[in-house]
Each structure stands twice: as structure tokens, then as C-alpha cells.
Amino acid sequence: MKITMICLLVLISALLCVACEKTTELEKVLVLSILTESGSYPDSMEIVVSCNIDGADIRYTINGSDPDLDSEAYSSPIKIGDIVNPEMNFVSFKAKAFRDDCISSLTVSREYSCISEHTVVTPEISLALETGQAMATLSLSCATPDAMIRYTINGTELNNMSPIYQHPITISRFGTIVIKAKAFKQDWIPSECAERWFFILHPAQDMVLIEGGDVVIDTLNARLNSYYMDKREVSQTDYYTVMASADDVYLPSKGDYPVYYVSWFDAVAYCNKRSLLERITPCYTYNNTSVTNPDSWPEGWNTNDANSTNISCNWDAPGYRLPTEMEWMFAASGGALGHNYQFSGCDSIYSVAWYDENSGSSVHEVATKEPNELGIYDLSGNLSEWCWDIFAPYPSGPQVNPHGPSTGSQRVIRGGSWYSPEEMCQVTARSSGLPTQNQAASIGFRCVKKQWILPLSQGKKNK
């Protein structure tokens, strides 16, 4: 019995020794080191990886994932320039060591970029309106030849999946637009990130964009910013809808006739009420107050001609307003697309205007003659139109967005009507009327508003 117990104890001891030896072997742990620390280096700089136990199988990745036995095998130092993403000038290098008889190492990671003698120039961003269209065109450019530009238009950060800019891009949405762009070139340091913010106002229907330009007449040289103008004269339906009353407006059998029997004051009130109806900031206030609803202005504000000078215009507001005389004339001339026609859109008055010889002594529906080069109707006929300016001789010298004088009794009227002789339908013809004048069946109006792309900032550059 004693011999049996002794043999059993010897056997157990032998087994424990073997187990201990195997456990010791299995508990060998691989320790991996990447000797090249994270940072920016020349393209030729090598990444050196080592392991504490010979014969380890070292695997690595350059896409941010953790290495496994299917990853690329490391056998010799790797040049940083061979693995850095040329577009982003960045690589996330990860390595791990494996061996069947050892515990695998932890994953070790480093981040690298390349130092170059050349840096790509930061791209330029521009957003411009398409003439006559409710859309904008995004253009990107880079002063570095053969540079590739990646961009986003929704404010997201750029990456190597961002679209590549190849040609101007049409943007037809509205609101805040955040554009980011970055340029890349093989073996060059990428540019900084260019960023610009724009706010694109939703344009009203049936308005035409008029690109800014110069108006030269007599001794006046006026420079105008871009703006929108109604394609058509304000119709009876338009006026009734906004003013919510037709008591003092004669309504023909069809609402597409232009509104008439309206004073200059009526036109101002319509502009503000149209703005309020569309929930945009109106342009006009009375007596230097902040009140923009004409219904809340003092009683009698629109019954005295002298009160017209109490009305102020906020030229930076996005609301509707009457055109200045120079804006009206520039539009009637066809703007930058104009051909110096005698009448708006043509040298043949019959094609573009209702006037005393073809109107049958009556006003006609809007937009029944040919439009001018900008797609705007009836600027030479059908109804004459109120403008903002106080009537006075043209000023002399260069002007920027002139608004007319600040004193005077009469307001400018431009364009011929169904009642006018041919000479009063010419683009250059002008007349005037008292602001309270509302008994003319030959005077109407149309609205303008400011250009609807507003840069919110000049942008910032981020590395």
C-alpha cells in the first residue's frame, strides 16, 4: 500500500512539473515597439518596428483598423512617404506581433505626416447668382497648378471621400450654406481648409435677377449692385391679395390687368405689406420709427404730399421696395445684356409696348407683349410706373446706388403707358407726379428687392 501511494505521488509530481513547464512557455508575452514616434517627417523617413522575442510575426495596417494575421506582414523598415495618404497627408500606422507559443502583443499605433518643401495654396471660394434664375453657381479655384480640390457644401469636415471639384456646381437650395474646400497635390503639403458661409434668401416667384453694372446718362455715371425686379407690373390680383381690400381699387374683369389708380403712397404700403406677408423685413419706416406696418403709421400719413419725405428706406433690408430711378432705367435698358434699344427690348415699339397708337385707348393684361433682354415685360408701355426717387435733374459725376435727392415735392415716374405717345415710351423718357396722385388710370408700379446671396462671413481657414 505504501509503495502504491509513493508511486502515485511521484506520478502527480511529474505531471505538475510538465504542466508548470508548459504554462511557463505559454505565458511568454510578446512586446512590440515602434521606434519611430508619431510626427511629421521627410518622405524618406523609415518606420522601424521591433519585438522582444525573435521569430514573431509582425503585422500592420495603415487604414486605422487593428492588425490581425491577415494584415500586411512587416519584414523591413517602411518609408513614411510610401504609405501616407497623399490627399490628406496623414496615415494611422498600427502594428501587432503574433507567435503561436506566445501571448500576442498589444496593438501599438503611431500617426505620421510628411514634410515637404511645397505647400498647396488655399482654394478660393465664390458663389454667384445665375442671371434670371433662382439658383447659384459655386466656383472653386486654386493658384497651385494641377492641384486637386475636394469640397463639401453642407458644413461637414473634409475627408478622402469628399467630392472632387471638376466644374462649377449649381446650388438651388436656400438658407445657410457652409462651403469648405481643401486642395491637394502629390508630394506637396495639402492646403489649409477654406471655409465660407452664405445665406441665400428664397427669391419671390416671377422676379428676375439683374446683375449689377453701370448706368451712364448725361453727366451721371452710376454703379449699381445686383437686385431682383418683378417680371410684370403688379396686377390687380397681386394688389388685392396683399392689401386685403379692393374698395379703392378698380378691378377689371380679369385680375391679370395691372393695378392702377394707385398713389406713390399706396405703392410704398404695398411693398411693406408684401414683405410682412412673406415674413421678411420690410424696407420702409415712417418718421424715423421702427414701425414697418403701414396700418400702424399715424393717421393721414398718406394724404399729404409733404409726408413722403418722412418715409425712410432701409437699403440693407431684404424686403420689397420701389425701384430707384437708376435701377428702373438699368432694367429697362436690358442691364448688362442690353443692346441700347430705343424701347425696352426692341427698337420696334409695336413688339414691346401698348401705347396710344395700338392700345385701343385701354390698358391691357400684363405680359402680353414681348419681354426685354432680361425677361421683363411692359417697361415701355401699358402703365407708367412709380419709382422711389424725388424728381430732380440728374446729378453729376460718379455715384454708387444713387437714391435721388432728399427734398422735393414730386416723385419720379418712368416708362410709357397705353395713353402715352411713342416718345414717352422710350427708355430715356421720364416724368413725375405728386405722391398722393391716385386718379390716373395710366400709372402703376412694380417691386424690386436686394440680391439674395448674403456672405455671412469672409470665412476662416483651418489646418
pLDDT, tens digit, 9 for 90 and up, residues 292-327? 999 999 999 999 999 999 999 999 898 999 999 999
Cβ atoms of residues 284 and 363 within 8 Å = no
Burial of residue 15 (number of CB atoms within 10 Å: 0-12, 13-18, 19+): exposed
Q: Do the first three CATH levels of 124-200 and 207-450 match, i.e. the same topology?
A: no
Q: Which residues pair with 66 in a beta bridge?
A: none
> How are beta strands 108-114 and 39-41 bridged, if at all?
parallel
Q: Report pLDDT for 255.
A: 75
Q: Domain-by-domain residue ranges, the chain?
A: 25-114, 124-200, 207-450
Report the distance separating Cα 285 and Cα 297, nearest Å.
Answer: 9
Q: Report pLDDT for 22.
A: 46
Q: Which residues contact 377 (CB under 8 A, 6 or more apart)?
A: 231, 232, 233, 366, 367, 369, 370, 371
What CATH code is assigned to 207-450? 3.90.1580.10
> How are beta strands 91-98 and 57-61 bridged, if at all?
antiparallel
**Residue segments in the chain with a per-residue pLDDT below the cut of 50:** 9-10, 16, 18-26, 132, 246, 252, 458-463
Protein fold of 25-114: Immunoglobulin-like (2.60.40)
For helices 264-277 and 236-243, give the axis angle rounded to 10 degrees: 70
Report the distance separating Cα 203 and Cα 436, nearest Å.
Answer: 30
Cell representation of residue 5: 501511494
- The beta strands (E) that lie in 220-345 are given as 220-224, 227-230, 284-286, 311-313
Question: What predicted TM-score, i.e. pTM, was given to this entire model?
Answer: 0.62
* 392-405 CB burial, b ≥16 within 10 A, e <16: eebeeeebeebebe
Q: Report pLDDT for 457.
A: 54
Domain 124-200 has CATH 1.10.3210: no
